[in-house]
Structure 1
Amino acid sequence: MDALPPQAPPAEALARLDALMARGAAFFGTRYAIMGGAMSWVSERNLVAALSNAGAFGVIACGAMEPDRLAQEIQGTQALTQKPFGVNLITMHPRLDQLVQTCLDHKVGHIVFAGGIPPGSAIKAAKDGGAKVVCFAPALALAKKLIRSGADALVIEGAEAGGHIGPVSLTVLAQEILPFIRDVPVFVAGGIGRGEAILSYLEMGAAGAQLGTRFVCATESIAHPNFKRAFIRGAARDALPTVQLDERFPVIPVRALQNGGTKRFLEHQAETIRRFLAGEVEKAAAQLDIEHFWAGALRRAVVDGDVENGSLMAGQSVGMVTREQPAVEIVQELVWQAAAAIAARQPA
Structure 2
Amino acid sequence: MSDTGVARLDELWRRGREFLGTRYAIMGGAMTWVSERNLVAAISNGGGFGVIACGSMTPELLDAEITATRALTDKPFGVNLITMHPQLDDLIDVCRRQRVSHVVLAGGLPPGKAIEAIKSFDAKLVCFAPALALAKKLVRSGVDAIVIEGSEAGGHIGPVSTAVLAQEILPNMTDVPVFVAGGIGRGEAVKMYLEMGASGVQLGTRFVCATESVAHPNFKKAFIRGNARDAVASVQLDKRFPVIPVRALANAATEKFMDAQRDVLARHQAGELDQGAAQLEIEHFWAGALRRAVVDGDVESGSLMAGQSVGLVKSEQPTAEIIAELVEQAAAALDQR
Say whether 1:287 aligns with 2:271: no
Give unmatched runs, 5+ long, in structure 2: none
Q: Please give the alpha-carbon distance, in whole angstroms, between the structure 1 residues aligned to 2:9 and 2:58.
A: 39
Q: Which amino acid letter does the alignment assign opposite residue 266 of structure 2?
A: R
For residue 137 of structure 1, what is the aligned residue in structure 2? 129
Q: What pairs up with 1:35-74 in 2 under 5 angstroms?
A: 35-74=27-66
For residue 89 of structure 1, what is the aligned residue in structure 2? 81
1:125 Cα offset (Å)? 0.8
For residue 243 of structure 1, what is the aligned residue in structure 2? 235
SS at match of 1:251: coil
For residue 3 of structure 1, what is the aligned residue in structure 2? none
Q: Which amino acid letter does the alignment assign opposite residue 35 of structure 2?
A: S
> Deviation per CA, 1:182-232, whole angstroms, max 9, x where unpaired?
000000000000000010000000000000000000000000000000000
Q: What pairs up with 1:72-221 in 2 under 5 angstroms?
A: 72-221=64-213
SS at match of 1:313: coil
1:10 Cα offset (Å)? 0.5
- Specify which of 314, 332, 336 is matched with residue 340 of structure 1: 332
Q: Please give the alpha-carbon distance, in whole angstroms, between the structure 2 residues aligned to 1:283 and 1:120.
A: 32
Give unmatched runs, 5+ long, in structure 1: 1-8
TM-score by length of 1: 0.96
For residue 260 of structure 2, what is the aligned residue in structure 1? 268
For residue 226 of structure 2, what is the aligned residue in structure 1? 234
Q: Please give the alpha-carbon distance, in whole angstroms, between the structure 2 residues aligned to 1:247 and 1:12.
A: 53
Report how many aligned residue pairs link the two structures.
337
Q: Which amino acid letter does the alignment assign opposite residue 178 of structure 1?
A: L
For residue 224 of structure 1, what is the aligned residue in structure 2? 216
Q: Please give the alpha-carbon distance, in whole angstroms, between the structure 2 residues aligned to 1:119 and 1:268.
A: 34
> Deviation per CA, 1:75-120, whole angstroms, max 9, x where unpaired?
0000000000000000000111110110111111000000001011
Q: Please give the alpha-carbon distance, in whole angstroms, between the structure 1 residues aligned to 2:319 and 2:116.
A: 34
1:12 Cα offset (Å)? 1.1
Q: Which amino acid letter does the alignment assign opposite residue 69 of structure 1?
A: L
> Deviation per CA, 1:239-267, whole angstroms, max 9, x where unpaired?
00000000011000000000000000000
Q: Which amino acid letter does the alignment assign opposite residue 301 of structure 1?
A: A
For residue 321 of structure 2, what is the aligned residue in structure 1? 329
SS at match of 1:86: strand
1:34 Cα offset (Å)? 0.2
1:269 Cα offset (Å)? 0.2
Q: Which amino acid letter does the alignment assign opposite residue 20 of structure 1?
A: L
Q: Please give the alpha-carbon distance, in whole angstroms, between the structure 2 residues aligned to 1:39 and 1:77.
A: 15
Q: Which amino acid letter does the alignment assign opposite residue 300 of structure 1?
A: R
For residue 302 of structure 1, what is the aligned residue in structure 2? 294
Say whether 1:34 aligns with 2:26: yes
Q: Which amino acid letter does the alignment assign opposite residue 335 of structure 1?
A: V
SS at match of 1:188: strand
Percent identity between the aligned chains?
71
